[in-house]
Structure 1
């Protein structure tokens, strides 16, 4: 269950065109990186794929449904199958990490279970397991306003891993992390998508991360698709055209690193 965009465009209420004639077909289980300069339209495209922004033009088919042609109830169910890792995670600062992670299942749980989990976490062990994959198990009951920006991004990723979505979207998920941790986190995203056979689309500012970890790369420029190629086929000339406004290619600069270590804290 992937998605297709046929001539999708989006014009904001103030008249600014954010997307123009996007044509993409991504099959179930594909792993795709979106790259491009700041302001190119990558975040807007991900919000369209997350069914949180309605296109003003074209046709979108997402997980075997047309989001804006279904009932509100079915649209809610569809959104519950999509996981989005935000660049700046929308996590309440005074919320505990365990509650933030368990929020990944709120769209799937009945109302009573969601409310009960705010008082007493209903699956602290499950939250701990996902945090351990990101070396954050020791932060399980920490308040989110006591974490660094990189730690918050990993908490947001743990929440999406706990959600187990059919479509995994990530918007600059490593922007607050150092190069080595960025490498490990992007590798984990790809491992999760491959293990469960789900579709992964991630926007990345660091070109080298995208080329190392994703089989397919889409270059986004001025709200449109400049190229859509296998990673091995992307040329330096294409990258320089894509980032001409920034004067150089943004790189993470970290060598390939081993898999994430597991926190010694037991999840029990």
Structure 2
């Protein structure tokens, strides 16, 4: 298996509990969407999987290793195998797109190679190839601050794909994109995950996109797993319970008719 959480909990330094006794297992190549209301703990869960946070309780195993037991270079090597697509990619405004994409492998390069690449991009064809997947090849030498929010999100995705991680994580990766582009981008992420046999975990507010693009759905509410089901088994009742008392519940549930969302067929 690639990921296993057993009784994992996380409490913020201010004492606020974000996750409670989460049990979750993902195998190689599995694709899972995490859905739930704001404040449910989706981003915290992804940060745990990215090892930028460590569990306050329970046990987390990633790629056959236990991050909490690693230190120094061993932890850095594990992190270099994990790709996290951010909702708002940390792109230096004056940096060129090609340099931003090549930064995906900084954790795998020597310090000298990384410094050289900042001045003279060392793999322009590789950066162009990943950008072309996202219809951004013509933006290769533009500055990041000249791009729209949706384009910056796609540059962040290209950087993570260039990294060639063993685990692919995505935190609201299409929030700044129009519906057609969001659909295309999630299709691409699914295809890349299948081609490379990567586990893919994405948090999404758009329930219809989650049901359409991900075979497995995990509903997270108040830091706990409310359900963990195949997309075609998620019912209107499941979604009503997940978003209960949420002021946006009606809007969140409105487009999730299974006929509309066309989820992946259960086998």
Deviations 1:155-200 (A, max 9, x none): 0000011011000000000000011100000000000000110100
Give the TM-score normalised by the residue count of structure 2.
0.93
| Runs of 4+ that moved beyond 6 A | none
SS at match of 2:10: strand
- Structure 2: how far apart are the matches of 1:173 and 1:152? 10
Q: Are 1:206 and 1:251, in contact at CA under 8 Å, matched by a contact in 2?
A: no
Deviation at 1:251, TM superposition (A): 7.2
SS at match of 1:250: helix
Equivalent runs, 1:50-65 vs 2, <5 Å: 50-65=50-65
The answer to whether 1:40 aligns with 2:44 is no
Equivalent runs, 1:20-35 vs 2, <5 Å: 20-35=20-35
Q: Which residue of 2 aligns with 1:265?
A: none
Q: Which residue of 2 aligns with 1:248?
A: 250
Deviations 1:207-251 (A, max 9, x none): 111111111000000011000001111010110111121232437
Count of matched residue positions in the alignment of Structure 1 and Structure 2: 255
SS at match of 2:94: coil
Point out where structure 2 has 5 or more consecutive residues left out of the alignment: 262-267
Q: Which residue of 1 aligns with 2:92?
A: 92
SS at match of 1:104: helix
RMSD between aligned residues: 1.4
Equivalent runs, 1:178-193 vs 2, <5 Å: 178-193=178-193
Deviation at 1:71, TM superposition (A): 2.8
- Structure 2: how far apart are the matches of 1:185 and 1:173? 9
SS at match of 1:150: helix
Q: Which residue of 2 aligns with 1:228?
A: 228
Q: Are 1:239 and 1:249, in contact at CA under 8 Å, matched by a contact in 2?
A: no
Deviates more, 1:243-252 or 1:139-148: 243-252
- Structure 2: how far apart are the matches of 1:227 and 1:247? 17
Q: Which residue of 2 aligns with 1:213?
A: 213
Change (3 A) 1:183 1:251: farther
Q: Which residue of 1 aligns with 2:152?
A: 152
- Structure 2: how far apart are the matches of 1:249 and 1:238? 15
Q: Which residue of 2 aligns with 1:13?
A: 13
Q: Are 1:215 and 1:230, in contact at CA under 8 Å, matched by a contact in 2?
A: yes
Point out where structure 1 has 5 or more consecutive residues left out of the alignment: 257-268
